[in-house]
Structure 1
Amino acid sequence: MIHKIVRRSKVDDTHLPDSFSPLLKQIYASRGTTAEECDLTLSRLLRPNTMKGLDIASKIIADGIRDNRSILIMGDFDADGATSTCVCLLALKMMGASKIDYLIPNRFDFGYGLSPEIVAVAHSKGAELLITVDNGISSIEGVAAAKALGMQVVITDHHLPGKTIPDADAIVNPNQVDCGFASKSIAGVGVAFYLMSALRAELRQRNWYQEQGISEPNLAHLLDIVALGTVADVVALDGNNRILVEAGLKRVRAGRCRAGITALLEVAKRNPAKIVAADFGFAVGPRLNAAGRLDEMALGVETLLCDDMMSARRMAAELDGLNAERRDLEADMQQEALKSLESVELNEASLPWGIALFQEDWHQGVIGILASRIKDRYHRPVIAFADAGEGEIKGSARSIKGLHMRDLLELINSRHPGMILKFGGHAMAAGLSLRGKDFETFEQAFDLAVRELLKPEQLTGEFVTDGDLSAADMNLTVASELRNAGPWGQEFPEPLFDGHFKVIQQRIVGEKHLKLVLETECGQTMLDAIAFNIDLKTWPDATIEHAQVVYKLDVNEFRGNQTVQLMVEQIEPM
């Protein structure tokens, strides 16, 4: 699908420092950045005292450490869950906790969250205090089961709560009612970091470190893990999240990060000294996620916890292999999904507004990525389902701008009580379970609800660009400035440009990527460019001499030499 191009309007940027180039000032200003928000130092982090539940949660955990209770971190099987688990484990060890362990449910055996079944496993391990990370806000039955077994439960989460919340001993979630913490888009790992910061202060107040003869920990040592989880979970990079991510990236660039992160960067062929947020999002995060998608996320956690470089490299190689397997599975599933849509693709009017897909042999661990790929192709909300056994199917949903996925599922649930067995998530992504026999009914209800909530024009994708880039700005200095002006990410998008170019050379590399040499229309500058996963029905074509290109200005490094390269997001023959 060809996306329409919408250029950002010029805005006043006089409030920003003159040390920035005119181009960067305009880019920042167009994203609503204030002069204060250009300062990404840790001193500007939001204070913890506005996060509801943090005080009581830190007291409960401090009491648990003092009383030498058995503390179990209950994580989630994605990168955010894995990094949250590691932050808590490492911080608790630094604070002198002696009886700590973690447990991450296998998605195929236990599903998501603190279920009664996984609570039974935690009980068998002797857990007395459960701390959930990146999950728990919807675990009504699981918390009840834990309490019935005599365990205390502290929930830390960032997902949207439902109408009923669990009866936990403490809940820390910026999205719960009456929480004044300003960063509602903080990731689960960020919530865990704030809890550990509050716990450190609570123990300091109790004179714990002096009594135990240990040093008060410097939690900044964990910021590389916090940055990884924040970027990998694709949360909005508001001001607070940008501070956390930038601080973590600085640690990595300075060679002060965890051995596991260094090993994952190595296996992904990324240079730690020049890492940017996108490297976490597209190189490290997927390899970490592959463990939870295809195997046990414990492998990902152990990689991040590892402080021996040789062991870290061995585990990173294993994760790299799982990620390659994940890519192959995803490619096969995507082809099958596209085939099922071919009949309606020929007639745009008959294409569902909300696309629901199910195939019995699809892999549960990859349906989220599949839904995302189909959503990108058709610019429609998508839910992909896989068989979950015992007559149930599990779905992973991805939405488009303007449609709140969790609210939509709430609407369907109110109209068809009992059809959705359980659901939860965010505006842009959610998960749910159905009985297999209800799939067709759900498919129709989903499409109908989407049609009610969206307008036709919202089904056309668009690229919001920063306009045309002059030939004079297509140089290494500008490319480096933009690269280093991040961290860029969700809701704080990397600069994107559009323009007309002459197509000088074109060839396929890596089976489906288009390598190009482009020349600016004025003939002043020739540039290398690459478009990934190109439409092979259109390219290469020697008759195409001119194209409209949507692109990012990138720094390409090869054998120690740096050159400017255009990363093509869309190329349309003219």
Structure 2
Amino acid sequence: MIHQIVRRSHVDDSHLPDTLSPLLKQIYASRGAKAQECELSLGQLLKPDTMAGLTLAAEIIADAMADNKHILIMGDFDADGATSTSVCMLALRMMAAQKVDYLIPNRFDFGYGLSPEIVQVAQRKGAQLLITVDNGISSIEGVEAAKALGMQVVITDHHLPGKELPNADAIVNPNQVDCGFASKAIAGVGVAFYLMSALRAELRGRNWYQKHDIIEPNLAQLLDIVALGTVADVVPLDNNNRILVEMGLKRVRAGRCRVGITALLEVAKRTPSRVVASDFGFTVGPRLNAAGRLDEMALGVETLLCEDVIQARRMAAQLDSLNMERRELEQEMQQEALKSLNSLTLDTASLPWGIALFQADWHQGVIGILASRIKDKYHRPVIAFADAGKGEIKGSARSIKGLHMRDLLELINSRHPGMILKFGGHAMAAGLSMRGDDFPAFSDAYDQAIRDTIEPELLTGEYLSDGELTPNELTMAVATELRHAGPWGQAFAEPLFDGHFKIIQQRIVGEKHLKLVLETECGRVMLDAIAFNVDLQTWPDASIQHAKLVYKLDVNEFRGNQSLQLLIEQIEAV
């Protein structure tokens, strides 16, 4: 699908410092950056005192530590959940908690969140205080089960709450109605980090460190993990999240990060000293996620907790193997899904507004990635379902800009009570479960709800471009400046440009990637470029000598050498 190119309007950038290049000033200004946001530092982080429930939660945990209670961290099976769990485990150990452990539910046996069934497992482990991370805000029954067994429960989460909140001893979630914390986009790992910071202050007030003859810990040591979880969860990079990510990346570049993260970067063939946010998002995050998707996320947590370099490399290799297995599964499922769609007459008029797909042998751990791939291809909101046993199916949804997926599921649920058994999530991603027999009726209801909610213009994909670069700007110096001007990510998009180029050479590499040598139309600059996963029915084609590109400037690293390369997002023959 060829997306239309929309160029960003020129905006006033006079409020930004003149130490920035004119190009970077305009890029920053177009993303709404304020002057003080150009220099990211820990001192600019939002203060924790506006996060509702934080003080109470810290007091409960400090009391549990003083009473030597068994504290159990209840994590989630994705990268945000693994990093959140790791941050709490490491921080509590640094603060001399005597009895602390973690539990990540196997998604295929226990599903998502703090369920009554996983509470039984927690009881067998001797848990007296449960701390959920990256989950729990919708676990009404699970919290009741824990309370009935005499456990205390502290919920930390960032997902949108429902109408009813669990009856926990404390809830920390910036998306609660009564929470004044300004960063509503913070990831679960960010919430966990803030809680551990509040706990550190609470213990300081109790003279805990002197009593236990330990040095008050520097929690900045954990920012590499916070950065990884924040980027991997694809939350919007508001200023607070950008600070957390940038400070974590600086630790990695300086060689002061967890050996597990270094091992994951190495197995992904990334150089730690030159790491950027996209390395976390596209290489480390997927490998960490693979454990939760196909196996047990405990492997991911143990990699992050590991202190031994050799063991960390061994576990990183296991995660890499799982990721390759995940990619093979995903490709098979994607081919099957595309076959189903290709049975339709694939034009704009006949495609459903909302695509719902189900196949009984699809793997639950990969349907989210599948939904994302199909969404990218057709620019339609997609839900992919897999069999969950006992007559139920589970779906993973991915949305498009302008359609809030969780709110859409809420609308369907209100129109068809009982059709959806459980749902939750964010604007761009959500999950749900339902009876398999209801899938055909749900598909129709889903499509109709989308038609009633958005305008058809939103179904036209677009690239938001920062404009055309001059030949003088197509340089390594500019590419390096942009690379280090991040962190770039969700809602603080990496610079994207467009322009016309002459094609000098073209060939396929790696079976489906188009490698190009280009020349600017004026003939002044020769450039290398690559387009991944091209349509092999169209490319390569020697008769095509000019193309309109949407691209990013990239610093390509190969065998220790660096060179300028265009990363092509869209190529259109002209």
- TM above 0.5, yes or no, is yes
What does residue 219 of structure 1 align with?
219
Could you say what secondary structure the match of 1:186 adopts?
coil
Distance 1:55 1:32 in 2: 32
2: distance between equivalents of 1:197 and 1:120?
30
For the pair 1:374 / 2:374, whether they are aligned, the reply is: yes
Q: Secondary structure of 2:108's partner?
A: coil
Partner of 1:143: 143
Unaligned runs of 5+ in 1: none
Look up the match of 2:562: 562
> CA–CA distance in 2 between the matches of 1:187 and 1:427?
14
Please give the alpha-carbon distance, in whole angstroms, between the structure 1 residues aligned to 2:225 and 2:55.
24
Q: Map residues 384-395 of structure 1 onto 2, 5 A cutoff.
A: 384-395=384-395
Alignment of 1:6-45 (within 5 A): 6-45=6-45
Secondary structure of the corresponding residue to residue 249 of structure 2: helix
The Cα of 1:347 is off from its aligned counterpart by: 3.6
Query: What CA distance in whole angstroms lies between the structure 2 residues aligned with 1:415 and 1:167?
Result: 28
Q: Distance in 1 between matches of 2:125 and 2:343?
A: 53
2:111 is aligned to 111
Residue of structure 1 equivalent to 2:167:
167
Deviation at 1:239, TM superposition (A): 0.1
CA distance in structure 2 between the partners assigned to 1:5 and 1:537 by the alignment: 23
Which whole-Å CA distance do the structure 2 matches of 1:466 and 1:279 have between them? 22
Partners of 1:288 and 1:382 in 2: CA distance: 24
Partner residue, 2:254? 254
State the alpha-carbon separation in 1 of the partners of residues 187 and 288 from structure 2: 16
Structure 1 counterpart SS, 2:343? helix
* Residue 466 of structure 1: aligned partner: 466
Structure 1 CA distance for aligned equivalents of residues 407 and 475 of structure 2: 45
Partner residue of 2:477?
Answer: 477
The letter for the 2-side match of 1:477 is A
Q: What SS does the aligned partner of 2:357 have?
A: strand
**Alpha-carbon distance between aligned partners in 2 of 1:541 and 1:474, rounded to the nearest angstrom:** 25
- CA distance in 1 between partners of 2:229 and 2:558 (Å): 29
1: CA distance, partners of 2:543 / 2:341: 30
SS of match in other structure, 2:109: coil
Residue by residue, what CA displacement relative to the aligned partner does 1:339-388 show, whole Å, maximum 9, x if unpaired? 00012243431110000000000000000000000000000100000000
Aligned equivalents of 2:41, 2:559: Cα separation in 1: 33
- Alignment partner, residue 180 of structure 1: 180
AA matched with 2:221: H
CA drift at 1:562 = 1.4
Q: Secondary structure at the match of 1:417?
A: coil
Distance, in Å, in 1 between the alignment partners of 2:458 and 2:43 is 40
Amino acid at match of 1:395: G
Structure 2 residue aligned with 1:53 = 53
> Does 2:506 match 1:492?
no
DSSP-derived class of the 1:572 partner: strand
Give CA-to-partner distance per residue, 1:483-503, whole Å, 9 cap, x none: 000000000000000000001
1:244 paired residue number = 244
**Distance in 2 between the 1:345 and 1:298 partners?**
44
Superposed counterparts of 1:314-463, under 5 Å: 314-463=314-463
In structure 2, C-alpha distance between the alignment counterparts of 1:46 and 1:452, rounded to whole Å: 38
Corresponding position of 1:552? 552
Q: In the TM superposition, what whole-angstrom CA distance separates every residue of 1:149-194 from its partner, at most 9, and x where no partner exists? A: 0000000000000000000000000000110000000000000000
SS at match of 1:350: coil
State how far apart, in whole Å, the 2-side matches of 1:549 and 1:321 are. Answer: 34
Residue type of the alignment partner of 1:438: D
User: Aligned partners of 1:87, 1:407: CA distance in 2, in Å?
Assistant: 31
Q: SS at the partner of 2:325?
A: helix
Q: Match of 1:102?
A: 102
- Rounded to whole Å, the distance in 1 between the matches of 2:18 and 2:481 is 14
CA distance in 2, matches of 1:392, 1:563: 51
Partner of 1:294: 294
Cα deviation code 1:98-133 (max 9, x no counterpart): 100000000100000000000000011100000000
Aligned to 1:513: 513
Q: Tell me by how many angstroms 1:390 deviates.
A: 0.5
The percent identity for this pair of structures is 79
Tell me the secondary structure at the aligned position of residue 357 of structure 1.
strand
Cα distance in structure 2, aligned partners of 1:39 and 1:529: 32
The one-letter code sitting in structure 1 at the alignment partner of 2:260 is G
Q: Which residue of 2 aligns with 1:541?
A: 541
TM-score (norm 2): 1.00
For residue 291 of structure 1, report the CA deviation from its aligned partner.
0.1
- CA apart distance, 1:561: 1.8
- Code of the residue aligned with 2:183 in structure 1: it is S
Measured in 1, the distance between the counterparts of 2:461 and 2:433 equals 29
**Paired positions, count:** 574
Q: Distance in 2 between matches of 1:514 and 1:480?
A: 24
Deviation at 1:82, TM superposition (A): 0.1
Distance 2:346 2:155 in 1: 48
Q: Does 1:152 align with 2:144?
A: no
Structure 2 residue runs without a partner (length 5+)? none
**1:253 partner amino acid:** R
Q: Does 1:311 align with 2:311?
A: yes
Query: What amino acid is the match of 1:158?
Result: H
Task: Give the AA of the match of 1:257.
Answer: C
CA distance in 1, matches of 2:347, 2:474: 41
